[in-house]
């Protein structure tokens, strides 16, 4: 384990940024935090987490896939992929690190998504333990420990220092490069902080949320549950929950006519939208109830069915904070799960 004084943190950022682009949560003018590229003078945010999740780094909201140019009867296909340099994402919380595993299972299983794979292979993740989880946090429900974040390097921040432990070869190499600014140390302070986090976790209001009622094979049982009507009643059909979610991975592929060619791009899609997965025959989910149900069934039933029981939610709580009408996965789990959800 190595540590660095918080007084020297900017020197550390500078050192990392010498070799790779460094992104870390920074405060925006509206008071919320977002991952921004580190530049001289950038200030690391104190916020618990960013509004947008770090999935953007691997699966950006819009991305060009290819372009076409037509001349007479010829169509030229242009590969828009660009070479990518290594980049470092600093301060990723345990929940968000776990979300990368969930995305990996979608994008890195055959056929591999080469756009995602390229970004993933160039990203180095420095995670950060949560010393002050929010009341909206429920990562524990999904087996995530905010005191033990994974990623290439794990970090713990105390009042005075920041501690690092590498978990992968990539992480080890990066830590070695930072050896001039860090010093070897024992793990007393970190053990102490882990205990504090564990104690807080026992006090969180959502600590007892259970997933027992959900998982693969529950489609028949849950699909026609009468509770969906009531739960979806107030849903506005906006895409806030899906767009702030670190694990939502649905996208649409569209063509943009530039006037002198076509750009084929993909962009995030939301199951909450009326034209989600619209096909030639029309739309297969006609009501907001069906669209609403799709989102939660996907996270709690369909995904685990295809992925060894792994749920596609990490309990980051973004949707709890941001939903305009405060309807969210926790309320769904408690209502549908009934007694089992308590």
Q: CB of 236: closest distance to another protein in angstroms?
A: 4
Q: Which one, 160 or 274, has the nearer CB to another protein? A: 274
Per-residue x/- track, 113-152, another protein (CB under 8 A) = -------------------xxxxx----------------
Q: Which one, 104 or 252, has the nearer CB to another protein? A: 252
Strand, helix or coil for residue 237:
coil
| Encoded tokens for 15 | 């050192």
Stretch that binds another protein, among 120-128, 165-173, 217-225, 270-278 (CB under 8 A): 270-278
Q: Which one, 133 or 315, has the nearer CB to another protein? A: 133
User: Which residue in 320, 332, 336, 341 binds another protein (CB under 8 A)?
Assistant: 320
- Answer for the pair 298, 248: CB distance below 8 angstroms, yes or no: no
Q: CB of 110: closest distance to another protein in angstroms?
A: 27
Per-residue x/- track, 235-254, another protein (CB under 8 A) = -xxxxx-xxx-------x-x
Q: Using CB atoms within 10 A of its CB, is residue 169 exposed (0-12), middle (13-18) or buried (19+)?
A: exposed
C-alpha distances in angstroms, 296 versus 82, 114, 249, 256, 263? 35, 28, 13, 31, 33
User: Which residue in 34, 106, 117, 178 binds another protein (CB under 8 A)?
Assistant: 34
Q: Which one, 220 or 259, has the nearer CB to another protein? A: 259
Per-residue x/- track, 173-212, another protein (CB under 8 A) = ---------------------------x--xxxx------
337: left (phi over 0), alpha (psi -120 to 50) or beta: alpha
274 binds another protein (CB under 8 A): yes
Q: Which one, 145 or 167, has the nearer CB to another protein? A: 145
Alpha carbon distance 182, 126 (integer Å): 15
C-alpha distances in angstroms, 14 versus 10, 18, 20? 6, 6, 10
| Encoded tokens for 310 | 């792994």
Alpha carbon distance 161, 179 (integer Å): 15
Number of residues located near another protein, criterion CB under 8 A: 58
Per-residue x/- track, 39-78, another protein (CB under 8 A) = ---------x--xx--------xx----------------
User: Which residue in 33, 126, 327, 336 binds another protein (CB under 8 A)?
Assistant: 327
CA torsion 217-222-223-225 (nearest 10°) is 170
Q: CB of 301: closest distance to another protein in angstroms?
A: 22
User: Which residue in 234, 286, 306, 340 binds another protein (CB under 8 A)?
Assistant: 234
Q: Which segments within the chain are labelled E, that is strand?
A: 2-5, 21-27, 33-37, 62-71, 74-79, 87-93, 123-128, 153-157, 161-166, 183-184, 251-257, 262-268
Q: CB of 296: closest distance to another protein in angstroms?
A: 15
| Encoded tokens for 255 | 């063509």
Strand, helix or coil for residue 86:
coil
Q: Which one, 187 or 252, has the nearer CB to another protein? A: 252
What separation, in Å, do the N-terminal and C-terminal C-alpha atoms of the chain show? 39
Go through the chain and tell me how many residues it has. 342
Alpha carbon distance 134, 322 (integer Å): 14
Alpha carbon distance 81, 59 (integer Å): 14
* Residues lying near another protein in the complex (CB under 8 A): 28-32, 34, 48, 51-52, 61-62, 132-136, 200, 203-206, 230, 233-234, 236-240, 242-244, 252, 254, 256, 258-261, 263, 265, 267-270, 273-275, 278, 320, 322, 324-328, 330-331
């Amino acid at each position: 384990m190595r540590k660095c004084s918080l007084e020297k943190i900017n020197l550390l950022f500078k050192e990392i940024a010498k070799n790779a682009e460094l992104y870390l949560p920074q405060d925006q003018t509206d008071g919320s935090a977002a991952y921004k590229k580190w530049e001289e003078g950038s200030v690391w945010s104190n916020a618990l987490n960013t509004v947008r999740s770090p999935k953007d780094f691997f699966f950006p909201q819009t991305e060009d896939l290819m372009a076409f140019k037509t001349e007479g009867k010829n169509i030229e296909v242009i590969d828009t992929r660009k070479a990518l340099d290594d980049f470092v994402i600093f301060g990723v919380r345990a929940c968000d690190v776990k979300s990368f595993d969930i995305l990996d299972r979608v994008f890195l299983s055959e056929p591999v998504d080469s756009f995602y794979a390229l970004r993933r292979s160039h990203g180095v993740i420095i995670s950060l333990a949560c010393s002050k989880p929010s009341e909206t946090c429920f990562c524990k429900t999904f087996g995530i420990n905010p005191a033990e974040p994974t990623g290439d390097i794990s970090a713990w921040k105390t009042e005075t220092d920041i501690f690092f432990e590498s978990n992968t070869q990539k992480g080890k190499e990066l830590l070695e490069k930072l050896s001039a600014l860090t010093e070897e140390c024992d793990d007393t302070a970190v053990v102490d902080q882990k205990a504090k986090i564990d104690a807080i976790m026992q006090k969180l209001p959502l600590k007892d949320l259970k997933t027992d009622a959900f998982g693969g094979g529950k489609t028949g049982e849950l699909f026609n549950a009468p509770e969906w009507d009531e739960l979806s009643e107030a849903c506005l059909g906006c895409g806030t929950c899906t767009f702030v979610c670190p694990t939502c991975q649905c996208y649409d592929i569209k063509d943009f006519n530039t006037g002198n060619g076509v750009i084929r791009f993909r962009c995030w899609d939301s199951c909450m939208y009326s034209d989600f997965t619209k096909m030639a025959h029309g739309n297969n989910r006609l009501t907001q109830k069906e669209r609403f149900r799709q989102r939660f069934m996907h996270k709690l039933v369909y995904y685990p069915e295809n992925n060894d029981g792994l749920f596609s939610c990490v309990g980051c709580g973004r949707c709890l904070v941001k939903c305009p009408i405060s309807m969210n996965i926790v309320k769904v789990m408690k209502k549908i799960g009934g007694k089992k959800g308590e």
